[in-house]
Amino acid sequence: MAALVTPFRSGKVDDRALAGLLEFHLKARTDVIIPCGTTGESATLSHEEHRRVMSFVVDYVAGRVPVICGAGSNNTAEALGLVQHAKKIKADGVLVVTPYYNKPTQEGLYRHFEFIARKADIPIVLYNVPSRTGVSLSPQTVARLAKLSNVVAIKEASGNLDQVDQILELCGITVISGDDSLTLPMMSIGARGVISVAANVVPHRVREMVHLALEGNWEEARQLHRELYPLSKVLFIETNPIPVKTALGLMKKIKPEFRLPLCEMRAENQKKLEDVLKKLGVIS
């Protein structure tokens, strides 16, 4: 599953580049496309832009692959509004991050997701990324939420394999890796795929690794994991999505433009990124 970037040009969403990225993923047979998540710079999209990008992607893809729209907020009512928009445009599901900054308790987290799940009849993927939000869903809270019929999966980006084991011990929810470098280790203990940043750059190779693991072909999957590991690490050498948008700029797929407070990469880090991309054969 590709965590899609949002291309900008002169301060606005670049529809032409966005369409090009969607074509790139469709040709690479990406299984699921996910706009408006962390990698899509949702934090600096206006509500109007957020809804428009969601609609653009769903309309363009036109059912050829599933689209799961990022629809989170630290304001429960705002998150519900985004989720309801995703339902209205017939997205296949929503990715809902834990509320950031206000640091709710586990009971508050449960009530946030329960409120959304009760009010919106659409498949929900929980998103746990404590390094970005300052709060983590406990395995026990995940197990409570898994009892809600439309809570179908969790994107687990805590970087903690013990957390994954505990979730799978407590409930049957589908666990999806949220860390490219940990996808194969997580799948070895029961995760079923990845919502990937690296898939923006090499979607076909990320897809192949995941499908090899799902088929039980661990030796070939490990070989691809080793091949992709340097990319998985360098894409987080600075704050995501700075490196991945820089990579797509080097690949001539987008203009590598950011919105403050994000900015361009430091020159020494861009050189490291370029070296990895050259070794992968992505740029010459």
3-state SS string for 64-120? CCCEEEECCCCCHHHHHHHHHHHHHCCCCEEEEECCCCCCCCHHHHHHHHHHHHHHC
pLDDT at 80: 98
How high is the mean pLDDT of the chain? 97
pLDDT at 42: 95
Distance CA 148, CA 33 (A): 24
**Residue from 213, 102, 197, 51 nearest 112 by CA:** 102
Residues facing residue 127 across a β-bridge: 97, 155
Distance CA 184, CA 193 (A): 9
Q: What ranges do the domains of the chain cover?
A: 2-217
pTM of the model: 0.95
Quick one: fold of 2-217? TIM Barrel (3.20.20)
DSSP element (H, E) containing 12? strand 12-13
| pLDDT tens digits, one per residue of 43-61 | 999 999 999 999 999 999 9
DSSP state, residue 265:
P
Q: How confident is the model at residue 93 (pLDDT cuts 50, 70, 90)?
A: very high
pLDDT at 175: 98
**Residue from 9, 93, 81 nearest 47 by CA:** 81
Amino acid occupying residue 90:
K
pLDDT at 72: 93
Q: Which residues are catalytic?
A: 127, 155
pLDDT at 143: 98
pLDDT at 240: 97
pLDDT at 193: 97
| pLDDT tens digits, one per residue of 54-89 | 999 999 999 999 999 999 999 999 999 999 999 999
pLDDT at 279: 97
pLDDT at 37: 96
| pLDDT tens digits, one per residue of 165-213 | 999 999 999 999 999 999 999 999 999 999 999 999 999 999 999 999 9
Give the mean pLDDT of 132-157.
97
pLDDT at 59: 98
| pLDDT tens digits, one per residue of 100-127 | 999 999 999 999 999 999 999 999 999 9
| pLDDT tens digits, one per residue of 2-29 | 999 999 999 999 999 999 999 999 999 9
| pLDDT tens digits, one per residue of 216-264 | 999 999 999 999 999 999 999 999 999 999 999 999 999 999 999 999 9
